[in-house]
Amino acid sequence: MTHFRRRAAFGFTAAVAFGSGIGEARAEDALSGGDTAWILTATALVLFMTLPGLALFYGGLVRARNVLSVLMHCFAIACVASIAWLVVVYSLSFDDGGAQQAWIGGLGKVFLDGVGPESMSGTIPETVFFMFQMTFAIITPALIVGAYPERIRFGAVVAFSLVWLVLVYAPACHWVWGGGWLADMGVMDFAGGIVVHVTAGVSALVLSVVLGPRRGFPHEIRPPHSPGMVVTGAAMLWVGWFGFNAGSALAADGNAGMAMTVTHISAAVASLVWAFVEYLRFGKPSVIGIVTGMVAGLASITPASGFVGPMGAIVIGIVSGVVCQYFTTWIKFRIKIDDSLDVFAVHGVGGIIGTILVAVFAAPAFGGLGLAEGVSISDQLQVQLIGIVAVAVWSGVITWILAQIIARTIGLRVSEESEIEGLDIIAHGERGYDLT
């Protein structure tokens, strides 16, 4: 099994660029202390994105009576995803699937069977690779929390996230990064534009349709209760994203350095563009707007981060700042879907933008680090589109079926009375704030 790495970045175009993917560990690789140290660090950074980054980002966007429920969703999902990853999801994602390798990984690494301190995955211990990828499996269902706050049952969150990881995340991760059929086609997804953002974005959209909107949607919705908390969480996401993208180089090298550079540039550009567009539309650049632009810029650069140069990052940042903002309004007010915290518009659309544009801006003519040998921009574009559509359809269909089953068994939604009361007290018996 080949250990896919992005040597294309350095003109080693003989190796096809795949992304974070890795097949079976290659025991003959010597351990690199530098690589190992960096991926251990990146793992901590990516966990930090969810806890507390995303939790605070989402928590500040909801009403005061629901803030704890959102923190709880993110925290509980982190725990559930970690256990699921150990039990079966890692194996399904990255173990050799044998005859089924194109579609799904095997069960050889259930409970990390056969993996010890000596097991290697390229130049790092397999345990480190396992942990690094686990943090991706944590944040992806946590992103979906933004689709259903203020009205979902806690049991539904746990059940959905658990099954979703097995049925949606594991296959998508395997197809792109585990040597599955999309990897065979040469799809480019450096750090999760497809695996993380398309899966989470599309699933969020479908789940919010099945769940239905919050009371009073669209115009009677209460605004974010703590914009300061939103900014705090967003800033943590930015910092954590360095681990997400630069860690996906799976090495402490120049590719990681460039990935970090373009990640940062795209975030800065998209933030300013979002705020500027708001200024043009409403006369005021908003705080919530500038940090949402940051998230859009980061989501968009994610699939492209190891393949493009700074100029590509600037263009990707500009496009995401404009297009993702358009979609936030379009989803909520034109097609009236209450994807409450704009998971699809920001993460889904952002991931799609980057997944498409990487085919263009990876080309050396556009300042990129190179496509695989003999592959033209239009060839790559076709592969990228197939990847987006296949993963989007899979995510959407499975999410829809799963949501229907949960709705008919444990129930998806709380009563109207409970929704008015707020999920903090109803589901958890606590209050976020006691100001008396």
Partner 1 sequence: MKMIIAVVKPHRLDEVRSALNEIGVHGMTAGEVKGYGRQGGHSEIYRGAEYTVNFVPKVKIEVVTSDELADRAVEAIAAAAKTGKIGDGKIFVLDVGKAVRIRTGEEGDDAL
Give the CB-side neighbour count of residue 106, counting CA atoms within 13 A.
Answer: 12
| Beta carbon nearer to partner 1, 77 or 204 | 204
DSSP type of residue 64: G
| Beta carbon nearer to partner 1, 12 or 282 | 282
- Residue 219 sits in the site that holds partner 1 (CB under 8 A): yes
Name the minimum Å distance from CB 292 to partner 1. Answer: 5
- The H-or-E segment that residue 106 falls in is none
- Number of Cβ atoms within 10 Å of the Cβ of 116: 9
In sign, the C-alpha dihedral spanning 424, 426, 430, 431 is positive
- Residue 281 sits in the site that holds partner 1 (CB under 8 A): yes
- Residue 431 sits in the site that holds partner 1 (CB under 8 A): no
Name the minimum Å distance from CB 288 to partner 1. Answer: 5
DSSP type of residue 226: -
- The Cα 60–Cα 414 span in angstroms is 21
Of 156, 161, 170, which Cα lies nearest the Cα of 141? Answer: 161
- Residue 289 sits in the site that holds partner 1 (CB under 8 A): yes
Q: By CB under 8 A, which span of 153-161, 179-187, 220-228, 261-269 interacts with partner 1?
A: 220-228
Tokens of 7: 């040597």
| Beta carbon nearer to partner 1, 42 or 230 | 230
- Residue 328 sits in the site that holds partner 1 (CB under 8 A): yes
- Residue 215 sits in the site that holds partner 1 (CB under 8 A): no
At 311, the amino acid letter reads M
- Residue 332 sits in the site that holds partner 1 (CB under 8 A): yes
Q: By CB under 8 A, which span of 179-187, 282-290, 368-376, 399-407 interacts with partner 1?
A: 282-290
- Residue 224 sits in the site that holds partner 1 (CB under 8 A): yes
Which residues make Cβ contacts (< 8 Å) with residue 134, sequence separation at least 6? 43, 81, 82, 85, 86, 90
- The Cα 67–Cα 433 span in angstroms is 9
- Residue 422 sits in the site that holds partner 1 (CB under 8 A): no
- The Cα 417–Cα 414 span in angstroms is 8
- Residue 276 sits in the site that holds partner 1 (CB under 8 A): no
DSSP type of residue 120: E
Name the minimum Å distance from CB 141 to partner 1. Answer: 22
- The Cα 257–Cα 87 span in angstroms is 33
Q: By CB under 8 A, which span of 74-82, 178-186, 328-336, 425-433 interacts with partner 1?
A: 328-336
| Beta carbon nearer to partner 1, 287 or 425 | 287
Pick the binder of partner 1 from 7, 26, 222, 413 (CB under 8 A): 222
Pick the binder of partner 1 from 12, 103, 111, 333 (CB under 8 A): 333
- Residue 221 sits in the site that holds partner 1 (CB under 8 A): yes
Q: 189 in helix, strand or coil?
A: strand
Pick the binder of partner 1 from 35, 126, 342, 424 (CB under 8 A): 342
- Residue 288 sits in the site that holds partner 1 (CB under 8 A): yes
| Beta carbon nearer to partner 1, 230 or 357 | 230
DSSP string, 317-377: HHHHHHHHHHHHHIIIIIS----TT-IIIIIIHHHHHHHHHHHHHTSGGGT---PSTT--H
Tokens of 122: 């390229």
Q: By CB under 8 A, which span of 110-118, 164-172, 302-310, 322-330 interacts with partner 1?
A: 322-330
Q: Which residues bind partner 1 (CB under 8 A)?
A: 218-224, 278, 281-282, 284, 286, 288-289, 292, 325, 328-329, 332-333, 342
